[in-house]
């Protein structure tokens, strides 16, 4: 597909600085883009490449000043990074629109309901009473269990497994290998040292505009629902346990784990490899640093924590600074002890 600067400007509400008829057919990083490609400049560290790149069209911030003339057509916008993301999203949607129809072989139960303009890739399994909304794309080797509902414009990438009775909203993206609705980790210890499995009879609800990365696992609730609220974004390789709730527009980075029945508020940011114990509350706007271990509730909104066990960020930095001075403090303390002994000896 080929697009002119004028067409792209209309999508991102940009102002054209240069030839509006300049056309591109692909994207490239500004430091290595060639003629016929579109790039963007958002980070000032890459400004020098603005004058050496081969890109034909470059999206820049509207405040960008030129130190020398360039041959590329510029599209000036308030925020180049957001505009570029918007353009990529539009491009991806155009590519997805080309996918439709049902490939063979697949298994679709006779009770399943499929909407308009749906794509179902080869080796997909759709169980009893599955409901698929309009414009959904289900890529090959995915499993959709009995009584699952999937809303409109949702994308299920290859090899995703969605267990029975789970509910997936509109415009959700679930990446390859992710498992939704597997059993929560529930076992009751018995007197003889063995464990009795506690049946997990709830489900998972994923609300609208959620994105879940590859190879993540979201466990079904013991009773009720594990819930990922609207707008949340989960990275690859994340574990969300039974009966957890993740709030609106919260983000969780790769390899983090959330234990059962924990409630995460809205607009929370959780760094990679963080671990959160079960049955606690995380207040709205909290920020949990990478590799932190959260062992108790964060009750105050917008709190920032770090460390294991996690504690308030500024206090943690002071503690780290103090710990680096411990050898010096030990020496000073030893010197003081010797001085005190000398004073006592002279009395």
Q: Report the phi/psi class of residue 62: left, alpha or beta, with left for phi > 0 and alpha for psi in -120 to 50.
A: alpha
Q: Alpha carbon 157 to chain centroid distance?
A: 15
Catalytic residue among 157, 175, 242, 279: 242
Phi, psi of 234 (to 5 degrees): -115, 135
242 is catalytic: yes
- Enumerate the β-bridge partners of residue 38: 27, 57
Burial 250-285 (b: 16+ CB within 10 A, else e): bbbbbbbbbbbbbbbbbbbbbbbebbbbeebebbbb
CA angle 112, 106, 167 (to 5 degrees): 40
Q: Alpha carbon 315 to chain centroid distance?
A: 28
Please identify every residue annotated as catalytic: 242
């Amino acid at each position: 597909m080929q697009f002119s600067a004028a067409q792209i400007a209309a999508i991102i509400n940009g102002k054209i600085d240069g030839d509006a008829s300049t056309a591109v057919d692909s994207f490239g990083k500004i430091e290595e883009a060639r003629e016929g490609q579109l790039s963007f400049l958002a980070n000032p560290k890459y400004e020098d490449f603005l004058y050496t790149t081969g890109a034909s069209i470059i999206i820049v911030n509207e405040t960008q000043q030129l130190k020398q003339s360039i041959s590329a057509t510029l599209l000036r916008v308030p925020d180049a990074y957001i505009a570029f993301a918007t353009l990529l999203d539009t491009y991806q949607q155009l590519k997805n629109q080309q996918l439709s129809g049902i490939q063979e072989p697949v298994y679709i139960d006779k009770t399943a309901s499929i909407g308009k303009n749906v794509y179902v890739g080869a080796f997909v399994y759709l169980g009893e009473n599955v409901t698929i909304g309009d414009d959904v794309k289900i890529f090959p080797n995915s499993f959709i269990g009995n009584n699952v509902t999937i809303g409109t414009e949702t994308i299920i990438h290859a090899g995703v497994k969605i267990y029975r009775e789970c509910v997936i909203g509109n415009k959700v993206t679930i990446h390859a290998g992710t498992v939704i609705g597997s059993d929560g980790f529930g076992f009751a210890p018995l007197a003889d040292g063995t464990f009795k499995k506690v049946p997990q009879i709830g489900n998972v609800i994923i609300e609208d505009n959620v994105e879940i990365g590859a190879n993540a696992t979201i466990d079904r609730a013991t009773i009720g629902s594990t819930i990922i609220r609207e707008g949340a974004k989960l990275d690859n390789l994340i574990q969300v346990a039974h009966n957890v709730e993740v709030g609106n527009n919260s983000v969780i980075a790769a390899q983090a784990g959330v234990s059962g029945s924990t409630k995460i508020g809205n607009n929370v940011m959780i760094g990679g490899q963080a671990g959160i114990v079960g049955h606690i509350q995380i207040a709205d706007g909290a920020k949990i640093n990478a590799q932190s271990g959260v062992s108790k509730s964060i009750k105050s909104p917008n709190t920032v924590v770090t460390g294991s066990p996690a504690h308030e960020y500024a206090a943690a930095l002071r503690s780290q600074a103090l710990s680096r001075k411990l050898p010096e403090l030990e020496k000073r303390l030893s010197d003081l002890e010797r001085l005190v002994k000398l004073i006592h000896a002279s009395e």
